[in-house]
Amino acid sequence: MRLGVILDHPYDAPLGYSIRPRELCKNLAKVGCEVHIFSPVDRSLKISDNLVVHGIPAYQELFMRICNRFIRKAFKSYSIARYLYRKRVFEMLSKRLAESMYAKVKRYNIEILQGEKEIASMSAVMLGKRLGIPAVADIHGLLAEEAILYGFVENDSEEYLETKAFVSEVLHEADAVVVVSEELKRYLTNTFSVNADKFFVIPNAGRLRKATKPLRSMPENIVYAGILEPWERVDLAIASIPHVIKVHRKAKLLIAGAGTLKRNLIKLVDYLGVKDHVSFVGAISHDKIAEFLAQGDVAVLPSTVDIVRKVACPIKLFDYLAIGLPVVTVDGLWWSDFVRINNVGLVADTDPKKFADAINHLLSNPNKINAMSENAVRLIIEKYNWTEMAKKLYEILGKIL
């Protein structure tokens, strides 16, 4: 099978939207699929016999790369974004991407296309129709609802409705839709009246690394790895620390990541007087994240509880489990039950004191930490690893062909 994967972002970007396709592509190649990645912002690169990244020549020119970076920043600008969240803008970007990739997709006799997120998925649909091959959309979240969450558009505004109209077009025109969670599948099928049989759930996963979590007799390190944005509620983890150190005086919260809230979070640390117990280590590449996580005894996964988060599938959850870290998370999300059922952590309310109580309970019970650690690693080995997800995706693609 010759699969063409269309990206509208760098192949090696550090965030979840890039980690997912990168891990799936690498593991699809390992199970025998010939994978061709078509990217507007990468240089051509042969990664293995079955995995090749094809850069788009026109985009490699300095002017085109500057334009691409400007567009990406514009979509995150509060003053500009509302003019871009329009159906015609999304369609124009999709068409331009498809046209730039047409020659290479045709040259390599691609049998099936997969787009990552909405714009690339529409490009895959356009190319698929032109070349007479099926196109799959891999949808990671809710484009319109995320724009509201970020504050770029208002609920029920013209921009919001046009964005939803574009998403609807992608879902209806694609031959199949891959999503990251059952919750996302339910939301999309109900909201956009798409046949549920068209959807396939391939959740995110983890990858076992060489770094392993040491078994300490006196656990004390708490870790967080992810972006520093409002919906991640890193402020909740920080607000819990004054309550944690009343019980565990040497406890430290180590935070890896970058984002718009970093400055405010540093101010919160100073305000709470816990500067000696909270460290910001900056952004860490996904390839090196295991070394950071191995310093921890407990990992935290706070979050808002809204529709965007309810359908999400945070990669950090599986990164934590892959290193053998029990997780303290919040209630009201699908992974709350996942953590409970698999006995890989504790679930707490979004009150700092109660969140701290869950952390303290684990730090006070090393045997429980070790038992949950074993459960976590076993879960990754047996089920939630990228190789298993790639096998499922390979089977789905074979059925569509």
The answer as to whether 213 is a domain residue is no
Q: What's the CA gap between 154 and 245, in Å, rounded?
A: 41
The answer as to whether 231 is a domain residue is yes
State the CB neighbour count (10 A cutoff) for residue 118: 26
- Token output for 190: 């109900």
Q: What's the CA gap between 236 and 69, in Å, rounded?
A: 33
**Tell me: the pLDDT tens digits for 287-306?**
889 999 999 999 999 999 99
Co-location of 65 and 187 in the same domain: yes
The DSSP 8-state label assigned to residue 9 in this structure reads S
Alpha helical stretches, state H, 54-142: 57-60, 62-74, 81-84, 87-107, 117-131
Per the DSSP assignment, residues forming a β-bridge with 254 are 223, 279
Q: Are 115 and 135 in contact (CB under 8 A)?
A: yes
Look over the chain and give the mean of its residue pLDDT values, rounded to a whole number.
Answer: 92
Domain count, the chain: 2
| pLDDT number for residue 309 | 95
Q: Are 359 and 300 in contact (CB under 8 A)?
A: yes
Amino acid (one-letter) located at 15: L
Co-location of 182 and 34 in the same domain: yes
Q: What's the CA gap between 78 and 371, in Å, rounded?
A: 46
Q: What is the mean pLDDT of residues 211-218?
A: 65
The answer as to whether 210 is a domain residue is no
Q: What is the mean pLDDT of residues 42-62?
A: 80
Co-location of 364 and 391 in the same domain: no
**Tell me: the pLDDT tens digits for 196-212?**
999 999 999 999 877 66
Co-location of 357 and 395 in the same domain: no
| pLDDT-derived band at 61, boundaries 50, 70, 90 | low
Listed residue (215, 227, 135, 209) closest to 177, CA to CA: 135
The answer as to whether 26 is a domain residue is yes
Burial class from Cβ neighbours inside 10 Å (0-12, 13-18, 19+) for residue 199 reads: buried
Burial 263-283 (b: 16+ CB within 10 A, else e): eebbebbeebebeebbebeee
Q: Hey, is 323 helix, strand or coil?
A: coil
The answer as to whether 214 is a domain residue is no
Listed residue (20, 337, 306) closest to 180, CA to CA: 20
> Regarding predicted confidence, which is higher, 113 or 78?
113
Percent share of the chain, pLDDT over 70:
93
- Token output for 186: 């339910």
Co-location of 109 and 234 in the same domain: no
Q: What is the mean pLDDT of residues 119-137?
A: 97
The answer as to whether 391 is a domain residue is yes
Specify the pairing of strand 34-39 against strand 45-48.
Answer: unpaired
Burial class from Cβ neighbours inside 10 Å (0-12, 13-18, 19+) for residue 151 reads: exposed
Co-location of 7 and 92 in the same domain: yes
**CA distance from start to end of the chain:** 9
- Token output for 124: 């895959």
CATH for 164: 3.40.50.2000
Instruction: Reply yes or no on whether the pLDDT at 44 is more than 90.
Output: no
| pLDDT-derived band at 238, boundaries 50, 70, 90 | very high
Q: What's the CA gap between 309 and 311, in Å, rounded?
A: 5
Q: What is the mean pLDDT of residues 7-11?
A: 86
Co-location of 302 and 373 in the same domain: yes
Q: Where are the beta strands (DSSP E) in 215-306?
A: 221-225, 252-256, 278-282, 298-301
For 242, the domain range is 221-382
Kindly list the distances between the CA atom of residue 5 and the CA atoms of 26, 93, 176, 185, 314, in Å, as whole numbers in the listed order. 12, 17, 14, 21, 22
| pLDDT number for residue 325 | 95
- Token output for 4: 């063409």
Co-location of 189 and 324 in the same domain: no
| pLDDT-derived band at 152, boundaries 50, 70, 90 | confident
The answer as to whether 305 is a domain residue is yes
Residues near 323 by beta carbon (within 8 Å), at least 6 away in sequence:
209, 211, 212, 213, 290, 293, 294, 296
Instruction: Reply yes or no on whether the pLDDT at 74 is more than 80.
Output: no
| pLDDT-derived band at 64, boundaries 50, 70, 90 | low
Up-side HSE of residue 236: CA atoms within 13 Å toward CB?
26
Co-location of 181 and 114 in the same domain: yes
| pLDDT number for residue 126 | 98
- Token output for 40: 């507007």
**Tell me: the pLDDT tens digits for 322-369?**
999 999 999 999 999 999 999 999 999 999 999 999 999 999 999 999
Per the DSSP assignment, residues forming a β-bridge with 59 are none
| pLDDT number for residue 208 | 86
> Regarding predicted confidence, which is higher, 395 or 9?
395
Co-location of 230 and 344 in the same domain: yes
Co-location of 315 and 390 in the same domain: no
| pLDDT number for residue 150 | 83
Q: What's the CA gap between 20 and 11, in Å, rounded?
A: 10
Co-location of 17 and 69 in the same domain: yes
| pLDDT number for residue 211 | 64
The answer as to whether 144 is a domain residue is yes
Listed residue (71, 131, 146) closest to 101, CA to CA: 131
| pLDDT-derived band at 378, boundaries 50, 70, 90 | very high
Q: What's the CA gap between 366 and 372, in Å, rounded?
A: 10
